[in-house]
Amino acid sequence: MALIAGRERTPGFKLLLAILIGLALAIPLFSVWALVYDRQSQSEEATGSITAGWGGPQSITGPVLVIPYRASATETVIQNGQSVTRSTEVVRELSLAAEVAEVSTDIRPERRKRSIYEAVVYDSTVRGRARFAFPADLDRTGVDPATMDLSRAELRFGLSDPRGLGGNPQVSVGGRPLRLQPGGGSSGGRGFFAWIDAGGLRNAPLAVDYSYAFRGNSSIALAPEAGETRWTVRSSWPHPSFGGEFLPDRRTISDSGFSASYRVGNLALGRSLVSTAERGRTSGAERVAPPARGPAAETIDVTGPGAPLQTAAISLIQPVDPYSQVDRATKYGFLFIGFTFLALLMFDVVAGVRVSPVEYLLMGAALVLFFVLLLAFAEILGFTPAYLLASAAVVGLNTAYSAAILGSWRRAWVIGGLLAGLYAVLYVLLSLEAFSLLIGSLLLFAALAGVMYATRRLDWSAVRRTEAD
């Protein structure tokens, strides 16, 4: 045996080298994350094209009774260099919300696909009854009943995306059908309205019955405005998400669908049943904005012109979003790289099996490729089958490669078992989001304890010498 043939790197230097290679792999990991974001954006665009023309996420308001009245307004003008104040008569609007509104909504969902993309659309039918009456303290509004033009009153219904409105809405007062007009009122807006002679309101409450159908997608929201609003919703969709400012008092969810009932009073809304505004200013029934995607709807207006309305919102969510799942999985990429590199390092510094930096890099690249495969398969097969297929491919590849570089199938099975265990743990982390931090922390603690035990007698700064023939 000859004496010294050469010097190997110290264990400490090998550790530093493995860390640097792992950090270099952050670049492709970030690229994978950017790819997930890009594919998700494409999915949202495709979903928008699927639902185009059908009707967007819908918010409904009303009915609200709007009565024009005359009022005096003063203005100051400059005439002949002098300030002159004069009084003019203007027309304003008094908005009267119902004392009680009972609303029933049936939602009939449907999945629509284009290529690999899918969207949830629905047909909905709304039936309701509302009772209007002047409050006893009407004089507190400063509106003289004698100035009201009850014969020109408007009954307004708001709908955020009128494109989805069905062909034959029906509104009747005291059993007499009304002729409906487009728009949220005579001054414009989104929805429909009817002219009504509300002269009988001086003596008795006004009962309004209505029904209409509309189409939408993703979510539906109701902005309660009455003194007491009772909203009942039924659907065959088994995955609802309840959001907005009001949650249901009772709800039932099963594989065959869901039902929910709401009860909201105007004290919870923080607004009076009566409000006034300049003619032409958007009222609550007209300022209907579409709900945002997701559980919570975008707020629309209530307490006066410009203030946001509170809503009860229901989203028809997909139970598993592959893009959010892949995005979360990608964030654990360093966990896979770190544990795999740690196993290779232990074989190198403890068992004496030399592992080159190129071999670290190739195995790390295979681990990064897992997330690309996961994304590609998930768009077609769904997340769980894609996860099984991608993880099996990467475990098999790295196990076979480890057998070559470690010179032993028994050592390679250690690497393969480690990766299989990591993929199993990651799936559990993705499924149990509430406990992911706890499980991840315990896993890292166990790994650190194992490394500390295995290297407790290792001299990290020692140089091992190799002998040659």
Contacts of residue 79, defined as CB under 8 A and 6 or more positions apart, other chains included, come to none
Instruction: Tell me, yes or no, whether 50 lies in a domain.
Output: no
Q: State which of 269, 292, 316 marks the end of a domain.
A: 316
Whether residue 103 sits in one domain with residue 184: yes
Residue 384 has pLDDT above 90, yes or no: no
pLDDT of residue 287: 47
Domain membership flag for residue 3: no
Say if residue 279 is in the same domain as residue 346.
Answer: no
Residue 111 lies inside a defined structural domain of this protein: yes
* Whether residue 325 sits in one domain with residue 297: no
Both 132 and 191 in one domain: the answer is: yes
Mean pLDDT within 185-201: 82
Stretch among 8-12, 16-20, 33-37, 235-239 having the lowest mean pLDDT? 8-12
Quick check: is 467 in a domain?
A: no
Q: Are residues 331 and 306 in the same domain?
A: no
Work out the mean pLDDT of the chain and round it to a whole number: 79
- What pLDDT, in 10s, does the model give residues 80-97? 666 767 677 778 888 888
| 308 & 211 share domain | yes
The parent domain of residue 382 ranges over 11-43+321-455
Residue 304 has pLDDT above 90, yes or no: no
d(CA 314, CA 245): 11
Is residue 250 predicted with pLDDT exceeding 80?
A: yes
Q: Which two tokens stand for residue 433?
A: 């989001």
Strands 58-79 and 219-222: parallel
β-partners of residue 169 are none
What gap in Å lies between CA 48 and CA 55, rounded to an integer? 10
Does 123 share its domain with 258?
A: yes
Q: How many CB atoms lie within 10 A of CB 172?
A: 14
Instruction: Decide which of 439 and 112 is more confident.
Output: 112
Confirm whether 84 is domain-assigned: yes
**Cα–Cα distance for residue pair 275/286, rounded to 1 Å:** 14
How do strand 176-177 and strand 170-173 relate by DSSP bridges? Answer: antiparallel
Structural domains counted in the chain: 2
Q: Flag whether pLDDT at 381 surpasses 90.
A: no
The per-residue pLDDT for 229 is 93
Output the pLDDT for position 146: 81
Whether 363 is covered by a domain: the verdict is yes
What is the pairing mode between strands 153-159 and 58-79? Answer: antiparallel
Q: Which of 50, 384, 42 is nearest to 218 (CA)?
A: 50
Give the closest residue to 208 by CA, choosing from 127, 106, 269: 127
Please give the sequence-ordered ranges of beta strands (E in DSSP) within 266-334, or none if there are none: 274-278, 300-301, 308-309, 312-316
Q: State the pLDDT at residue 7.
A: 53
Q: What is the pLDDT of residues 34-76, one digit of tens each?
A: 888 888 888 878 777 777 778 888 999 989 999 888 877 776 6
Split at pLDDT 50, 70, 90, the class of 318 is confident
Q: What is the pLDDT of residue 351?
A: 61
Q: Which of 297, 316, 335 is the last residue of a domain?
A: 316
The pLDDT of residue 235 is 93
Residue 48 domain flag = no
Task: Indicate whether 308 and 212 sit together in one domain.
Answer: yes
Same domain, 278 and 152: yes
Q: How confident is the model at residue 466 (pLDDT cuts 50, 70, 90)?
A: very low
Q: Are 47 and 121 in contact (CB under 8 A)?
A: no
In angstroms, rounded to a whole number, what is the distance separating the alpha carbons of residues 144 and 135?
Answer: 13
Do 349 and 241 fall within a single domain? no
For residue 289, what are the contacts with CB-CB under 8 A and spacing of at least 6? 59, 160, 298, 299, 300
- Whether 355 and 392 share a structural domain: yes
In the structure, what pLDDT confidence band is assigned to residue 399 with cuts at 50, 70 and 90? confident
Query: Which is higher by pLDDT, 427 or 390?
Result: 390
* Domain identity same for 91 and 203: yes
Residue of 237, 292, 224 lying closest to 107 (CA atoms): 237
pLDDT of residue 308: 60
DSSP code of residue 56: -
- Among 151, 140, 142, which Cα is nearest to 202's? 151
Nearest to 335 by CA among 397, 418, 431, 399: 418
Q: Taking 70 as the threshold, does the pLDDT of residue 230 lie above it?
A: yes
> For residue 102, is it within any domain?
yes
pLDDT value at position 84?
A: 65
Instruction: Please calculate the CA angle 388-391-396 and round it to the nearest 5 degrees.
Output: 120
Query: Is 468's pLDDT higher than 50?
Result: no
* Burial of 466: CB neighbours in 10 Å, binned 0-12, 13-18, 19+: exposed
What pTM does this model have? 0.70
Q: Residue 253 maps to which CATH number?
A: 2.60.40
Helices and strands of the chain, counted as H and E runs: 9, 21
Report which residue type is found at 328. R
Q: How far apart are CA 391 and CA 366, in angstroms?
A: 11
| Last residue within a domain, chosen from 316, 336, 370 | 316
